[in-house]
Structure 1
């Protein structure tokens, strides 16, 4: 188990478009395991590679539901419908929370740690978490989408992503 250091804003890596992953090997598997351990250590529900200083299209999401841990390599949103507004936070912005509007449903194409392509469909909170992490891979920060900043008492049990 290796806990990686979380990169916080205003680090430049957080605002660059990440490079595609082309090598699917043991190093990638270890990185994904480290990202999971890091996310859990920091009480997150998602983590993207730029948040640990890596310019790679890799993200993981685990909202503690029946889907378990979702590893997204080179993900692309291929369908997005509906709308939801809810609270978000980000491990790269400690203590910052805001309301963000996102699609309520997404269909995403991605690759797994072995390079196999798969599709995943998500709704509501899981869709929100996936969109948040995919934004990181494009250098888009949730703070650019906040419609209203929230203090911790206004969160109503919202989760950090």
Structure 2
């Protein structure tokens, strides 16, 4: 089965299944990305974060925005690189406007403000499936490169 370029970017993110907060990319180009993630009721953090009325931690919402807005867009911008990419989250200013409860699907959109010297800054927002704005702000990250490992094939 051939994966589309968008599916390959999601599949190649450097996060394990328990910490990957990207289900699908809907749009991706040189200037912006739109992606979605559904916060499943079985997520590990709901068991301990507001025990009787679980809420998605803000740091997890921010991570979701960073994975879509920085890691996915950065991967696309560096798609011709011959090196292994690593992503380092460097700076953020996010306003949280609404809570996200288990079972909520979020839509993250990020617009590139700049990308130079391997540093990416995006203006980002998160909506829920009812198009209510959950969070907005900006994020910065650095793309680190290392030579790709040769395979033994």
Name whichever structure is richer in helix by fraction: 1
**TM-score calculated relative to the size of structure 2:** 0.30
Name whichever structure is richer in strand by fraction: 2
**TM-score calculated relative to the size of structure 1:** 0.29
Larger Rg: 2
